[in-house]
Structure 1
């Protein structure tokens, strides 16, 4: 099957709705055009962001110990390492989620991972001042995962005046964004065509806000609003 045929079966909104965290994977290898397409997207994200994201395939060591067992990971041999300098939490979240969406379009399953893997065993090349911030477990899942509950929309946003349709669409996508232990510690504010997204005090919330903003842009349409720095 040609890659464009694979990707065209699922647009980004469909990918958002279909994607759930998966921690148990089959032995099927990521190879051929799917591997190439994923690597091309990694390269594109690195060019845009200045990050040093690396794709690690058929590498069992990082998820081979007790940490992975504690996190309920099984047979995880593929992952994306999000690498950057201090202060790159939000970009790691944003561009990492772009890669999660690409993986979903390509028929792969994913899971964001903050702690239950061994950084020292990941065969990544780090430049001065860089570190592995997070990784994204990757592969063909034994299941497609399952959805988690979300907070009510009005707990997650503030609107000055009437809520615009594009803002509502953006919020619906943002509510499906994966966040650490499903905490959803963020607030998104609409003022006219200007939107701000603020992380609240919580574990990994600065990474989460990048993921949330990626989802919001997909749902709302980037042409309908501009971000205000918080």
Structure 2
């Protein structure tokens, strides 16, 4: 394990953040109105980005990459109970899909893990492309739910001191391989605000006499309260 990945794992554990992971573990049932409101924009984001994902699936890109496409759709039983379940896509014909349920069902009596279903594109509320190790692309809804549960999340950056100035580059897109990514659920405005605060913090450290090696990268993070939208650091 390299120094960067070890640093990130330690900090994420201390913040109790576990965003990402295997897609089939992210389930939606018995949600509070507060959480339903919170995930609504991430459902819209998943729907807006799904056509490009579908195009890659049809082209066979994910098969060549040895990854699979899972989607979440909402199922309803005769009692009116509703639950969002993950389905691994096995076929696509136009706007119709076929797939297999890949998570255990909590509420619905008429469905079970391993059932084959047919569904339409307008039923898709979340998507994730995942490999055998659980590394994910997408899963905006699952990430948002886990960030909400955690409350406080870490937003990571690579910093460098060069010619008397600090530069910071957002790094969480790279941390997806460690199943800790919050990429896609924290806005660019929040990333910009944390960048601004990090620069101010490190400039203060410099004024106080702390030394930084010219051009040598270092790693740091900001803290964001996902529930309140407040930047803590």
More strand by share: 2
State TM-score, norm by structure 2.
0.27
Q: Which has the larger radius of gyration?
A: 2
State TM-score, norm by structure 1.
0.27
